[in-house]
Every structure is written in structure tokens, then in C-alpha cells.
Amino acid sequence: MTRQVEVRSGMYRDSVGLMQVSRDLRALDGVSSALVAMATELNVDLLVSMGFEQPDGVTPSDLIVGIEAADEDAIARAHTALDSALAAGPSGAGLSDGSREVPPPTILAAARRAPAQLALISTPGRVAAIDAADALAAGLDTMIFSDNVSVEHEVALKEIAADTGLLLMGPDCGTAVVAGVGLGFANVVRPGPVGIVAASGTGAQHLMALLDGVGIGVTHCLGVGGRDMSSAVRARSTLTALDRLDADDTVSTIVVVSKPPAAEVAELVTAHAERLTTRTVLGYLGAGQPDLTATAERVAAAVGLSWVAPRRWGGPVPTSRQGFLRGLFVGGTLCDEAMLIATSELGVVASNIPLDGGRRLDASLTATGHTFLDFGDDAMTVGRPHPMIDPSLRLERLEQELADPTCAVVLLDIVLGVAAHRDPASDIAALVRQYDTPVVVALIGTRDDPQGLEAQATALAEAGALVHASNAAATREAIALVRRSRA
Amino acid sequence: MTPGPAADLTVVTAGAQMFADALNSQGVATVDVAWTPPVAGTEDALTAVMLDRRRVGANAKALTAMTSAGAALVDVRPAHAALDLEPGHFLHAGPPLTWDRMPGPLRGALIGAVVYEGLADTAEQAEARLDAGKFTFEPAHHRGAVGPMAGVVSSSMWMFELHDETTDHTACCSLNEGLGKVLRYGAYSPEVITRLRWMGDVLGPALQTATRVTGPIDIVAIIAQMIQMGDEGHNRNRAGTLMLLKEWLPALIQSGLPTGDIADVVAFVSGNDHFFLNLVMPACKLMTVAASGIPGSTVVTTMARNGTDFGIQVSGLADEWFTGPAQVADGLYLGNYGPADANPDIGDSAITETAGIGGFAMATAPAIVRFVGGSVSDALATTRRMYDLCVGENPRWALPIMDFRGTPTGIDVTSVLRTGQLPQINTGMAGRVAGVGQVGAGLVSPPMRCFERAAEALARRVSP
């Protein structure tokens, strides 16, 4: 067995791209382990934990390569593959004329290359505020996909945006639709009369998918970030987003989806919504508030279309053993919604993102009783891609829960869309087949999503999972299974 | 809200390539940033500075000030008159430094200047007196003056005096001595001193007469023309030199001076392709000083080297220097000289790049790209890269090859640190040893450290 560590300076690639390169290297004959990553503290620790020697004096702008292989030949093959993968560089169809055009090193430089309206930022959270300030200075509406941006920086950015009349979406804005174009983890939606203002990601995606399910289109969905309605941020982006939607004649109904705002912020938003000329549905999520499915039903009523209950795929209800409910989510809002329903039916639940009055899991995230994990939480995504792209962490946990004798039912969400994993269902379906534990899935997607909503649902149902297009309905069925097992 | 169908939307993407791919697959055009992390260790300072609400407006103001400043040659006078410079007090290039840290070329130039002023009889005596601390030194920038290479100015040296009517600032620069063994490259042999005496006795007074008769000469306008004629204003000043001479000629001819002197003056000026550099530099100084002292601005207003340290000044921080070790230029050497013979970077002439020409206007000077070790396409790429480091363009100075785009103007400290790309400076190289003179020419960059320190200081001035 041969091990080799190499440092390449001055070569930056994004973490998702490097993850793919690492994976391709590991797949080579004779290569047992490989890591190609930027030398962040986290990645260096990772390299060491993989049994490689710690490289000296590296900075996050250095690329580190660790390869473990059967022999020198395999190392050489890995190097050849690495060189060609890195030489290929970023793909994609920019506006570069391919001659001697210098690629833009900053957002402002890019905005000077071609007239643009919007910036989409997914740079590392620690420095994303720098890029966002640059985008606002360039006069662009800005979406920050990156998480781990501090609330102080968020407020400062939103003040700059307000100074200049620009919309800042995020930080941690997973989803947006602007003029029918999906940004980030967006679903493919058909144009229609609805405009959405949503905290961040999966709540908005779920609402769009539910509306799509009854044929209601969405023209814009503006994400404002999970903290926008907090006392610190004072709904700065929500108010701008409401004005933008109000000014758009194609929008006849506005929906606001958010966790319950701080009291004084709720007043601000309600007062602002009352001044708009467009009808506005406020859909706050929380104890005693309607769930997303109920909100979708209210929107359908406002638009004047009839409501049909969201679909369910799957066979008869399986038998389940005694034990606890385990929720494994990639969507924070979906996890919150499921916990709200579960808490009201089953009592206090534990989580890494506990509700008020909920139990917080310790750092080991060991399940205790009814337990819900959000794999998309900031703390779980430091230095790694979001679980909608890289499902490995959740798959590992899923297998562990399925094998756990104290687990009665597993509740999962799967989120489809343009930037999500190409086929999230198949790995999950394979695990569902291997174990007897019942699995209930909330499948969030639209008719036009590239993964194929029907195909994903069918693959899961055929493996024995119970699949719902409504997260609330999925949660209720999972709870019913837990209850029946206890009876 | 952005109106119309998706085809009208163009999105700038920075970060994960998959989001750009997802947009392209929806038929949306993207401009993808070739993003790299900021220079390690500068993240917090950069964030504070980028989030400073004054920054964008302050930088716009700095750009306007820089590109609207005027620069007219109004007089030619000795330094004691133009700058109140006393005998025994000397100006030098770059940030402040003490005699013990001065490099060979600067020591050589000071030795020559001491001899020229009659403050010592021999070079040895001059050096002994300098060593003994008999004289005082000050950066030329502190007096609103600039000097190429060693930049040494003593009280009886003749100066060009340029004036900006917009701001009422004045900037001065010595008269260019030509190439080879010259004081500014650290040479102090008798031929150097003899030439300086002729410049004081004949050249200076003749140009004073010509300038006073001709009236203010608009140097900004001559620069606008020269950069359309293949001069970048730092390492090539051929067209500018001849255009200036053309302005002076009628007055020189009618001056009543001995025709031999007039012929000598004309031959000296027209025989020195760099003569006009010493007018470009104070013109650039007037532009950059106009942009200095704007709170919150991250625009660089000075880049200058003393052969030991490279120093920059930033608009929002006024006259504070931020220094790092000066680098040795990369380029071509004269004769048998090599890298070991070259002194680290020296001179105030990087004021030209600070004002957006020199290395920044490389695209307009294809004739000299081989001299500084590059190809024509490198020159075009350099200017394109410099646009990305600058807050804007100077419409008065248009580059024909760039489709008459203005020169890249106003280096932004934050852009340098965010991209890790440094301003490119075209420069001459002085010999390491005092007395040698010029050994080559090439390209050089400031040390990143200057920008790191400036960003930290800018961050400290951001009110919370």
C-alpha cells in the first residue's frame, strides 16, 4: 500500500467540483482512498483522519491531494486522472468569446462584461458577504446561497441593499424563482398568478410543488433568508420583496411563508402587506398555525381554483414494531413542520434544530426517543456540500436508524429540482428494501422537475416506502404508524 | 421585478459551477466569475471594508477627482524656488527611510547631489558626510513632488512645475537627464555632475523662458495624444517628448539665446525618449492627489519605492504609508548585467500606474512589449486584467486598440486582495551598487503586504 500527499498552490476549485474529482479517483483500479480538496482546516483534519500525513504551512487557497493506492502504478494513474480533471477547469457556457478574454475575477468585473440583473453567490460562507457587497455595488439584485454568514453581516448587506433599492435574497437562500427562472435548488414551475416571499428554501419549494400539484403556477419566489423576520434584521428583505411583487402586474396573489416573526416585525410586515394593492396571504408556520399544505389550500381559494388533496403513492400500511419516530430531513422548514405536528401528537421531540420547548440533541446527535435531524443545518454543512447534492451523510444515518431496534418508523423528505441530486430515490429505495422498518417519504417536486416526480415516487413505493406529496400528510401517516405500534 | 421572459435575464454566478449549469440548462445566460479565495488572513478586514456604506460613493468620488484633475506646465524653476528646498536637505523617491537602510542607487544619487551642490569636493567626502548624518532627507511625495528612480532632488536642481486649476494643487518633478550613467540610476561620476551643471546653467533657464512665453501647456492633453501614438507614459514617452518640444520651439527660437544653446537644448530633449516622463509623473501626481483624503475610499493614490521598501497610500487614509519589501523586476538586462546586479524596485514613477497608464496602458504600447519581456497578446491581457482591479476608467485617455475604452483608473485595495492579482508596473532597473547606473528594464509588482496593511487600517476606520 502506497500513500502520497501533495500540495498544489494557487489552484482553486469549488468544493462540489473537487468532491466529484475525489470520487472519480477513488473509483480507479487499485486506488483505495483519495481526497482532493482545498486546504481548509476542516479538510486538513479530514486528510489526517484518513491516515495521511499532515501537510505543513498550507492555506485555504492551496489544493491538497491525498491518494492511497495498491502500488506506484495506481498512484500514477490517479495523478493522470487528476491532472486531466483539473485541466478541464470549470465547464459551463459563460459569455466569454474564447479568444483572449480574461475571465472575470470578481462579480463587479463580471457585471462589466455583460449587462446582468442578478448575482447568484455560493462562495464559502466566511467570505460570501464580501462577494455580496461587490454584487450590490455592481447594482445587481443578489441571492446568497451560502450559509454561515453572520447576522451582523446580513444586516449590513441589507442596509446597503435598502440604500440602493436592490433586493438581497438570503443568506442561506436555497431557492428562488425570478421571472420563471429557477435559482439554486429551485423546482421547475410553470408561470402563473402567484408570487411567493419565503424565508429560505424548502418551505418555498414545498409550497410551489403543492401549488403545481393542483395546476397553479408561480412567477416569482423570492427567498429572504431564515433570519429576515428576526428582531435584528427587521424584515428588510421581506418588505422589499413585497414591493417588487406588488409592482408586477402578472402577480395577482402574494404569499408570505415564514417561521413566526418576532412580534414587532410581524406588525411591520402586516402593516406593509395591508398597504399593497395585491392580495396577500400570510402563511406563518408555527404552533397553532396552518401547515404548508393548509396554506397551499388557502392560496388555491384566493386564486379561485379548486383544491385536491396531495397525492399518496404506496401499498397497504406495513406492520411496525414498537419504538420511536425518527425524522431525517434535508429541508429545515420541512423538518420544523414535521416536528410541530409530531410535538402536538406525540409530545416533546429531540432535534439538532429543536423547536421552542423541544429537546436539543448533544453534539454526538445520538437519537433519544422521537428524534428529528436536519442535515441541511448550518452546523452540518460547514465545509461540505448541502445534503440535497451529497446525500451520503443522511444515507449513512438512514441505514443506522433502519437497523436500530428502538426505531419504529423513519420519516424522510426528498427534494427534487434543477440543482438537486440527479436520482435521490434509488439509494434510499435500496436501503428501504433491505430492512423491515417502515419508511414514510415526503416527496417534494413538480411535474417538470428533471428527476421525474412520478418515476421517483414509483421507485420508492415499489421498494415498500409510503410516499406523500404533502409533508404534513407524510408526517401524520408516520405518527399513525408509531401510535399503532404502541397500541 | 425583472420583466419579460427568461431569455432577457443574465445572471452573474460566483461559487459552485452547478448553479451556473442549472441556469444555462434553463436557457439563461450566465457570466461565471473565476472565483478564488481572498488573500489568506485578510478575510475579516476585507469584509469590514466591503460592508462600509461609504465605500462605493467614496470610490466614485475618488475616480471623478482623479479623472477631472488638470495638469498644466506653468513654470520651470530651481527647487529652492519651486519647493522652498534648503541646501543640505534632499528629496528622494518612495516612502521615508533612513540613510542606513538606503540602497546603492539612492546612496549614489545622494553622493552625486551633495557634490553637485558643492557641499563636498569629492564623492568620498560626500559619502563620509552623509554617513555622519550631516544632511536631512524627505520623500519627494511629502512636498507634492515626484522623482523617477532614486528621485533625488537638491535645492539648485531645476524643476518642472505643474498646476491643477480645479484643485489649485501644484506638483513638481526634476528635468530628465537621459539614459545610461545618470544620477537617478545612482551614478555620480564627473560626467554625471557635468551634465547636471549644464542642465542648471543652460537647459533649465532656456525651458523657463520657453514655458513662460508659451504660457501654460496642457500636459493632460499631450498624454491623451501620446497614448494614441504608442506611448504608455512610463517606459515609452517618445511621442510625448516630441509633442512637448513642438510646443516650446517657437518660443525657444525667438528667445534670443545663443543659437548654439538652443541647438543643444533641442538636441538634448529630442535625443532623450524619456524626457516627457518627468512631465507625465507630476501630471499623474496632480490626478492622484486630487483623489486623496476621501473618507471610506479604498482607491490607491500613491505607489512609490525607495529601493528598499515599496510604499502605497490610499485615499481614505490620506498620507499614511503602507510598506513592504521592494521586489526585483523581471525583465531584460543591458549587456552582461543579470539579476544579481539589479537593485530592488526604486522610484516614484509608479505614480503613472497609480493614475492608470504605464503598465496599465500596456495594450497601447506594442512597440515596447518585447523590451519588457512579453508579447502583444500579453500586453492586451495585462490591460484587461488591470480593468478588473480598478474602480473605473478615464474617458480623457482612450485606448484605440481597446475600442477607445478609457484607461483603467483607480486601483481598489479590495480588488487586489480579493483576486490576489497585483498591479503591473513597467520599470527601469538600477544597479545594486552605487555608481553603476541603469542595468535593465522590466515588469514588477508591489508586495501584497502593502495592500494587506492598508486593508487592516481601512477596516479600523470603519465605524461600527
A and B: number of Cβ contacts within 8 A = 215
Asked whether the CA dihedral B284, B285, B289, B290 is positive or negative, the reply is negative
Residues B97 and B182 in one domain: yes
Structurally, chain B folds into a number of domains equal to 3
Give the per-residue SS3 of B305-366.
Answer: EECCEEEEEEHHHCCCCEEEECCCCEEEECCCCCHHHECCCEECCCHHHHCCCHHHHHHHCH
B119 CA to chain A: closest CA distance, Å? Answer: 53
CB atoms within 10 A of CB B60: 17
- Report the CATH number that the domain containing residue B362 is assigned in CATH: 3.90.1700.10
pLDDT of amino acid B372:
61
Nearest CB to B17; choose among A17, A180, A245: A17
Mean pLDDT score of chain A, rounded to an integer? 90
Are residues B172 and B230 both part of a single domain? Answer: yes
- Answer whether residue B109 is part of any domain: yes
Residues of chain B contacting residue A121, judged by C-beta atoms under 8 Å apart? 13-15
Q: Do B21 and A91 touch (CB under 8 A)?
A: yes
Final residue belonging to a domain, choices B280, B312, B333: B280
Confidence of residue A38 (pLDDT cuts 50, 70, 90): confident
Full domain range(s) for residue B17: 1-35
Euclidean distance between CA atoms A336 and B208, whole angstroms: 82
Question: Rounded distance, CA B155 to CA B200, Å?
Answer: 11
Residues of B in contact with A60 (CB under 8 A): 37, 40
Question: Is a pLDDT exceeding 90 seen at residue B285?
Answer: yes
pLDDT digits (tens, 9 = 90+) for A257-305: 987 788 899 999 999 999 999 999 998 888 888 999 999 999 999 999 9
Whether the per-residue pLDDT at B373 is higher than 90: the answer is no
Residues B83 and B200 in one domain: yes
Residues B279, B205: Cα–Cα separation, whole Å: 17
For residues B134 and B6, membership in a common domain is answered with no
Check B11 against A111: CB less than 8 A apart: no
Whole-number mean pLDDT of chain B? 94
Residues A54-63 have a mean pLDDT of 87
* Subunit contact B387:A104, Cβ cutoff 8 A: no
Mean pLDDT of A313-320: 80
User: Do the domain assignments include residue B50?
Assistant: no
The arithmetic mean of pLDDT across residues A139-164, rounded, is: 95
Do residues B107 and B254 share a domain?
yes
B164: left (phi over 0), alpha (psi -120 to 50) or beta: beta
Residues of A in contact with B24 (CB under 8 A): 92-93
**Same domain? B318 vs B275:** no
> Would you say residue A12 has pLDDT above 80?
no
Residue B430 within a domain: yes
Q: What does the pLDDT average to over A193-217?
A: 93
Strand partners, B407: B394
Q: Is the peptide bond before A290 cis (omega within 30 degrees of 0)?
A: no
Residue B408 covered by a domain: yes
| Confidence tier at B125 by pLDDT (50, 70, 90) | very high
Clarify whether residues B168 and B195 are in a common domain.
yes
- Report whether B192 contacts B183 (CB < 8 A): yes
Find the mean pLDDT for residues A247-253.
95
- pLDDT tens for each residue of A59-70: 888 899 999 999
**CA distance, residue A9 to nearest chain B CA (Å):** 12
CA distance B293 to B250: 41
In a domain, B45, yes or no: no
Task: Note whether B272 and B200 are same-domain residues.
Answer: yes
For range A91-106, the mean pLDDT: 57
B161 occurs within a structural domain: yes
The pLDDT of residue A215? 95
**Residue of A127, A381, A422 best to disrupt the B interface, most CBs of B under 10 A:** A127
pLDDT score of A33 = 86
End-of-domain residue from the set B260, B280, B300:
B280
Indicate whether B48 pLDDT > 50.
yes
pLDDT of residue A89: 54
Last residue of a domain, one of B228, B260, B280: B280
Instruction: Note whether B380 contacts A100, CB cutoff 8 Å.
Output: yes
d(CA B71, CA B240): 14
Report the chain A residue with the minimal C-alpha distance to residue B2: A179
Which triple of cell numbers denotes residue B374?
512579453
Residue in A159, A178, A385 closest to B2 by CB: A178
> What gap in Å lies between CA B139 and CA A468, rounded to an integer?
76
Chain A residue numbers with beta carbons less than 8 Å from the beta carbon of B53 are: 156, 159-160, 163
Same domain as B362, residue B259: no
Chain A residues within an 8 Å CB radius of B51: 129, 133, 153, 156-157, 160
Q: Which of A15, A58, A86, A118 to mutate to test the interface with B (most CBs of B within 10 A)?
A: A118
Q: Kindly state whether residues B266 and B337 are assigned to the same domain.
A: no
The reply to whether ipTM tops 0.90 is yes
* Domain shared by B17 and B166, yes or no: no
* B49 lies in some domain: no
CA angle B368, B388, A138 (to 5 degrees): 155
Residues of A in contact with B25 (CB under 8 A): 418
In chain A, the domains with their CATH numbers are 2-88 (3.30.70), 108-303 (3.40.50.261), 312-486 (3.40.50.261)
Interface of A with B in 17-76 (CB under 8 A): 17, 38, 59-61
Pairing of strands A63-69, A31-38: antiparallel
- A173, A113, A114: which is closest to A142 by C-alpha? A173
| B265 and B376 both lie in a single domain | no
Environment class of A244 (CB within 10 Å of its CB; exposed 0-12, middle 13-18, buried 19+): buried
Question: B64-121, pLDDT tens digit by residue?
Answer: 999 999 999 999 999 999 999 999 999 999 999 999 999 999 999 999 999 999 999 9
Instruction: Identify the weakest region by mean pLDDT among A20-29, A73-82, A373-382.
Output: A20-29
